[in-house]
């Protein structure tokens, strides 16, 4: 088994850190991977049709990595094993998959602390989500903090208020996207003082929980080296088809 067993989370700090149980061969393969282009995609997969996506995964790896055909096949199979095992552990046949292959950058020198909300209508509270880093620094995770929660909600209320004001006045003097970006940076600076990453340099993965007041606080790490990140949100086929994010449905 590659993934850790899932433990019940009954307190406000809803997360479980662990290391992937990889073979030495897999570790050596991942260590050798070199990224040539950033790739970020979200895709819907089902357990029954997972292997139809060989071409999609192949194209993604081919575009983003300096990798030969043998290495690509091994890496693709590792990704599918992780997806398959997590779906089996959660007793689901469908999932929203995010694969991010990213070169070193300064985007998250100030962490982007946030909680994941719902991805689709009717989603239950505290849906489990796998966060795993196959190469590079792991996702930052913090204990829940009420002050951070209040600050984040103030931000959302401010943005909603500004949107309503602009819609009512029909004014074009303010660019709402620029306003949001400015306020988001202010929020990131505030949260970086309230939330501190738990030291888990020895843990490349975590089960996080989304959609709820006590959803897991997390952030992308400051990338001083290349990173390959995989996230999996399992749920029913019916619910995933309602996903608000753009996906490639079969």
Where in the chain are the domains?
A: 15-142+197-240, 146-194
Q: In what order do the strands lie in the sheet with 217-219?
A: 114-115, 217-219, 140-142
> In CATH, what class is 15-142+197-240?
mainly beta
pLDDT for position 43: 52
pLDDT for position 53: 60
pLDDT for position 98: 85
Run means of pLDDT, 10 residues per run, the chain, 250 residues: 92 93 95 85 49 68 88 91 93 86 92 92 89 95 97 95 83 80 96 90 90 96 93 84 56
pLDDT for position 48: 45
From CA 103, how far away is CA 228, in angstroms rounded?
9
């Amino acid at each position: 088994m590659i993934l850790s067993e899932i433990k019940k989370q009954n307190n406000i700090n809803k997360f479980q850190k662990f290391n992937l149980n990889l073979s030495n061969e897999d570790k050596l393969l991942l260590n050798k991977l070199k990224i040539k282009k950033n790739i970020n995609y979200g895709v819907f997969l089902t357990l029954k049709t997972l292997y139809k996506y060989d071409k999609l995964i192949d194209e993604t790896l081919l575009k983003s990595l300096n990798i030969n055909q043998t290495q690509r096949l091994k890496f693709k199979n590792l990704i599918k094993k992780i997806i398959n095992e997590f779906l089996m552990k959660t007793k689901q046949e469908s999932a929203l998959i995010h694969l991010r292959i990213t070169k070193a950058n300064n985007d998250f020198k100030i962490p982007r602390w946030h909680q994941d909300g719902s991805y689709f209508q009717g989603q239950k509270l505290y849906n489990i989500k796998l966060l795993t880093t196959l190469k590079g620094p792991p996702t930052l995770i913090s204990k829940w903090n009420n002050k951070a929660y209040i600050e984040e909600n103030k931000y959302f209320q401010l943005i909603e208020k500004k949107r309503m004001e602009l819609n009512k006045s029909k004014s074009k003097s303010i660019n709402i996207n620029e306003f949001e970006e400015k306020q988001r940076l202010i929020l990131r600076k505030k949260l970086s003082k309230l939330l501190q990453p738990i030291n888990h340099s020895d843990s490349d993965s975590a089960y996080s929980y989304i959609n709820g007041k006590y959803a897991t606080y997390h952030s992308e790490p400051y990338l001083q080296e290349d990173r390959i990140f995989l996230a999996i949100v399992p749920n029913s086929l019916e619910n995933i088809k309602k996903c608000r994010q753009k996906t490639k449905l079969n």
